[in-house]
Structure 1
Amino acid sequence: MLYFLWENWIYSVFQNRPMWELLRNLTRLELLESLQIAKYDLICGNYNILLKISKELSPKIF
């Protein structure tokens, strides 16, 4: 029964072009958002690594 409902829903989405475009755009937005989060995590991770290195080196320099 669920498969039948799912199949009908997909068929109706493909028949309704604006709805399909909306779903595709939402998928793109989710992808871009996840890429931005990954980019932010990478920047923060690099910042934390540099901060640790500078803390370890600062007593040795002064």
Structure 2
Amino acid sequence: METLPPVPKALVKALDEMFPVQCPRLDDTERMVWFRAGQRAVVDFLIEHHKRQNETILGE
């Protein structure tokens, strides 16, 4: 996997607020459920990347 550029905390926070963890609604289509799950998966990935980058910086 290629190295990602640094992910700013402000970006992670903004995306976490824009795409929160939420349960599907009863009127959501299956497509919408998967779409929102994909959005959140990207946010979760960036949160983990941000944590790892800070551990690396603090660990040096």
Report matched runs for 1:1-62 at 5 Å. Answer: 10-13=25-28, 16-47=29-60
Give the alignment's Cα RMSD to 1 decimal.
1.4
Output the TM-score relative to the length of structure 1. Answer: 0.54
CA distance in 2, matches of 1:29, 1:22: 11
TM-score, structure 2 as length reference: 0.55
CA distance in 1, matches of 2:50, 2:56: 10
Aligned residues: 37
Q: Which has the larger radius of gyration?
A: 1
User: Larger relative contact order (C-alpha < 8 A, sep ≥ 6)?
Assistant: 2
Moved >4 Å (runs of 4+)? none
- Structure 2, unpaired ranges of 5+: 1-23
Gaps of 5+ in 1: 1-8, 48-62
Relative to its length, the structure with more helix (as a share) is: 1
Identity %: 3
